[in-house]
Amino acid sequence: MAKKILISDPTLRDGNHAVRHQLSREAFIAYCKAAEAARVPIVEVGHGNGLGASSMLVGECRLSDDEILTVSRQHLKKSRLGIHVIPGFCTIKKDLARAIELGVDVFRVASHCTEADITDRHIHYVRAAGKEAWGVLMMSHMATPATLLEEAKKMESYGAEAIVIMDSAGAYFPDDVRERIDTLVGGLNIPVGFHGHNNLGMAVINSVTAVNAGASIIDGTIRGFGAGAGNTQLEVLVAVFERLGFETGIDLYKILDAADIAEKEFNPVAPSISPLSIVSGLAGVFSGFAKPVARAAEDYQVDPRDIFFGLGKRNAVAGQESLIIEVARDLAEKNAAALKG
């Protein structure tokens, strides 16, 4: 029998990064309808950084969480509605309670790859409400396979029903994925998933590698819409899985139609592997930093590539946007000193 793969589609969440969190109500409606028609199992929506994240620091969303969840729920009948939850951005009594009230089905509770402890209360709250909770380990390239397993076991003990590791910087090669997925599948009693980014052009092959290593959940976004160079391109992924004999339950023609709809509704240019995205992958820095790094480089008249490598040396992670300015300022001061010397 063909191996079944559960596809979770964060186009309307990670894809919001690609347009600075400015997806319109019409875009949410159009893509929800298209994803539903294609039988996408889970459609994840929201601000790029998840529930409660809209702010001056990481970007203000065009729509409120309430608007996004309400309109998405209205147009997803068979597809399940998912959200990304980062404790710190997302409060329990205000944000989680409201999301449950509005009908969210799958709560993907995320932390930095070595900080699973912070997800305890959020996962417990979701499970106590009778909803599905997954644990998500972001920037997973920054931890060894053994450490990832240790952190994933914590999430499993809190009640997480699946674990997804994110290649948030698009830094992985297939061997990196294989080693981590093998370790997690062998050490956990719940399904394991993979979320790829395409900074080094490896997102599809890394996703295939994850499945071959035992992963049963894979993330992908239409046209690759996502932070930086974008995510694993969903319509390509569906086609490749079909060719390899894996079963996703997604209608190939309908998901190809969805790709055309998204291209018109979201942005005239889909994410691509830019020179700066490549440097982001090599430095192991969050893909979503590309635009603020470019702005800081212009403001301080420094090379954006140097900023990325500087951020990599400081092990910068999502939510530490203030470090971008700090690194740019330090580079500008060093450059000025070098000219004087």
Q: Which residues define the annotated binding site for Mn(2+)? A: 14, 195, 197
Contact 53, 16 (CB under 8 A): no
Measuring CA to CA, which residue among 291, 268, 284 is closest to residue 200? 284
Whole-angstrom distance, CA of residue 191 vs CA of residue 312: 31
Rg (CA), the chain: 19
Whole-angstrom distance, CA of residue 286 vs CA of residue 227: 8
Please list the active-site residues: 17
Q: Buried b vs exposed e over 10-19: b needs ≥16 C-beta within 10 Å?
A: bbbbbbbbbe
Cβ partners under 8 Å of residue 214, min gap 6: 181, 182, 185, 186, 192
Whole-angstrom distance, CA of residue 111 vs CA of residue 89: 11
Binding-site annotation: residue ranges: 13-14, 168, 195, 197
